[in-house]
Amino acid sequence: MARSDLLISLVRAGAAGDRAALESTTEALVADERAKNHHSVADRLERALAAVNVTPPALTTSSSQSGSGKDTILELEPRTTLGQLMLPLPVARGGQQLVEEHTRADVLRAHGYEPRHRVLLSGPPGNGKTSFAEAIAEGLGLPFFVVRYDALIGSYLGETNARLRKLFDYVRTRPSVLFFDEFDSIGKERGDTHETGEIKRVVSFLLMQLDQLPSYVVVIAATNHAELLDRAVWRRFQMRLSFPAPDRQRIGSSTILSPNGPISLKQHQRLSVENSVQ
């Protein structure tokens, strides 16, 4: 499925005369082939790309780019690392496993497996869900895409689905981390009698797009209201992590980074007091 998506994106980019999309899609294909140790094929793809002279069609204008899926995301540079976050032990281990699976994806594929790439985070606000998603992007060295709901959700019938399609078509062209914050706003329970038929169609289309995402796109969704999510949403995510509010014991036993290495928060507080006295 991942390879077929890339080939479709490659054809679309060539037909539209979109050099940037053609290059990013070809680079993703090259990375996929090298991960499978098909280095000769990867080299041929790179040579073919260098020899291609893409000429945009006469009717192609800058307005066509304004309607691309790139308009519905913010690309941020990830700076936070997993080691800087105060996380529950299951969440910290889950993050480390996710990074390791993608770092060693070639080993998994050699045995017929794909790394997990759909993660659902739930818990009260302010407990590190967004920072966790950013840290995963930093750990994998991938672009961090944050979905803009103001540009995604339309007021006309079918408009949101059309923008969702463009969004997913865009992210398929390159390895990345795609982050949906406040996921309950778009993944609501379809059985809710207070919701319109349009949101139900959006949820159904969203679930289909999630199923078709290649494994080199890591999609992370976060919600503060897990009870509002559609039941089918939960089944789409291979990893589900809970972010409870930290208690006093966990805060006191947590570690933070210092110039001399990790130290406990209590040690950090004691050193701060001693330095202020001096």
**What whole-number distance in Å separates Cα of residue 150 and Cα of residue 121?**
22
Q: 137-166 burial string, b = 16+ CB within 10 Å, else e?
A: bbbbebbbbbbeeeebbeeeeeebbebbeb
Q: Report pTM.
A: 0.67
Beta-strand ranges (E) seen in 4-154 are 73-76, 118-122, 144-147
pLDDT in tens, 174-204: 899 999 999 988 888 776 655 566 778 888 8
**What whole-number distance in Å separates Cα of residue 40 and Cα of residue 50?**
16
Most distant pair of Cα atoms in the chain: their distance: 73
Query: Encoding tokens for residue 84?
Result: 């800087």
Q: Where are the domains of the chain?
A: 1-66, 68-246, 254-278
What CATH number has the domain spanning 68-246?
3.40.50.300
pLDDT in tens, 58-112: 444 433 344 578 889 999 999 999 999 989 999 999 999 999 999 999 999 999 9
